[in-house]
Each structure stands twice: as C-alpha cells, then as structure tokens.
Amino acid sequence: MPFPLPLDPEFRKEVVSLWMDDVEDRLAQGDLEDAEVSWKIANTIYLELPPGEGCLETEARLFGLRVKLSQHH
C-alpha cells in the first residue's frame, strides 16, 4: 500500500509538478510507456484536489503533456 500524501493542496500541486517533470524526462529518453504511467499519476493526484484548489497553469501543462504523449503513440 502506498504511503498516503498529506492533504495540503499546495503540497499535492508540487507533487503533481514533480510527476510532470518525470513525464518530460521520460519523453526525452524515449520511454513512452513509463511517461504514460507518470502522466496518469500526475493527473490522478491533480483530480483529487479539493474543489476550488485547481490551477490553470498546472491544467495547461497536464494537457500539453497529454498532447505530446498522444503524438508519440
């Protein structure tokens, strides 16, 4: 069982950012399968944020990475 993340929305957004960095690193290495896994983790954590705690910049980055992943498949 994974260690539960703290509920603090700012901490969770930082974790999402780190997972998105991982997606970009894996794409740069040509590791599409693991980039996809990392994107799904980032997206899941982002979608679990409490209402009103979203971030348009993070959403735009997630969407942009989704587009990049789709272009490589």
Determine which of 5-9, 28-32, 53-57, 59-63 has the lowest per-residue pLDDT on average: 5-9
pLDDT at 4 (0 to 100): 67
Q: Under the phi-then-psi rule, with left for phi > 0, alpha for psi from -120 to 50, and beta for the rest, what region is 52?
A: left
44-70 mean pLDDT = 95
Q: Is residue 1 one of the residues assigned to a domain?
A: no
Which residues are CB-contacts of 51 (< 8 A; sequence separation ≥ 6)? none
Q: Is residue 32 one of the residues assigned to a domain?
A: yes
pTM of the model: 0.89
Domain count, the chain: 1
Domain that includes residue 13, residue range: 9-72
The tens digit of pLDDT for each residue in 13-41 reads: 999 999 999 999 999 999 999 999 999 99
Q: Is residue 4 one of the residues assigned to a domain?
A: no
44-73 mean pLDDT = 94
Distance (Å, whole) CA 13 – CA 20: 10
Token reading at 68? 């990049």
